[in-house]
Structure 1
Amino acid sequence: MKQELAIRRFNELDSKDRYVFLHRDLAKIFHEDSERSLNDSLARLVKAGLLERVARGVYVYALSKNKNSSKTIEHIAIALRRGDYNYISLESALSAYGVISQIPVNRLTIMTTGAKGLYKTNYGVIEFTNTKRSIKDILKQSITTGRPLRLASKEAALRDLKRVGRNTHLVDMEAMKDD
Structure 2
Amino acid sequence: MKQELAIQRLNELDKKGRYVFLHRDLEKIFHEDSPRSLSDSLARLVKHGILERVARGVYLYALAANKNASATLDLIAIALRRGEYNYISLESALSFYGVISQIPIDRLTVMTTGVKGEYKTSYGVIEFTHTKRGIGDILDSIVRAGRPLRIASKHAALRDLKRVGRNTHLVDMEAMYAD
TM-score, normalised with respect to structure 2: 0.99
2:145 matches 1:145: yes
Q: Distance in 2 between matches of 1:167 and 1:64?
A: 39
Q: Distance in 2 between matches of 1:67 and 1:50?
A: 13
- Counterparts of residues 24-35 of structure 1 (less than 5 Å): 24-35=24-35
2:54 matches 1:51: no
2:35 matches 1:8: no
Cα displacement (A) at 1:66: 2.7
Q: Which amino acid aligns with 1:166?
A: R
Q: Distance in 2 between matches of 1:129 and 1:56?
A: 18
**Share of identical aligned residues, percent?**
79
Q: Distance in 2 between matches of 1:118 and 1:13?
A: 28
Cα deviations across residues 97-150 of structure 1 (Å, max 9, x unaligned)?
000000011000000000000000000000000000011111100001221111
Q: Which amino acid aligns with 2:125?
A: V
SS at match of 2:49: coil
The match for 1:40 is: 40
Structure 2, unaligned runs of 5 or more: none
2:113 matches 1:116: no
Q: How many residues align?
A: 179
Deviates most, 140-149 or 163-172 = 140-149
Q: Which amino acid aligns with 2:71?
A: K
SS at match of 1:52: strand
Q: Distance in 1 between matches of 2:63 and 2:172?
A: 41
The match for 2:74 is: 74
The match for 1:96 is: 96
Cα deviations across residues 38-78 of structure 1 (Å, max 9, x unaligned)?
00000000001000000000000000123242000000000
SS at match of 1:29: helix
Q: Distance in 1 between matches of 2:172 and 2:11?
A: 45
Q: Distance in 2 between matches of 1:126 and 1:61?
A: 19
Q: Distance in 2 between matches of 1:66 and 1:102?
A: 30
- Counterparts of residues 167-178 of structure 1 (less than 5 Å): 167-178=167-178
The match for 1:161 is: 161
- Counterparts of residues 119-134 of structure 1 (less than 5 Å): 119-134=119-134
**Aligned alpha-carbon RMSD (Å):** 0.7
Runs of 4+ residues over 4 Å off in structure 1: none
SS at match of 2:69: coil
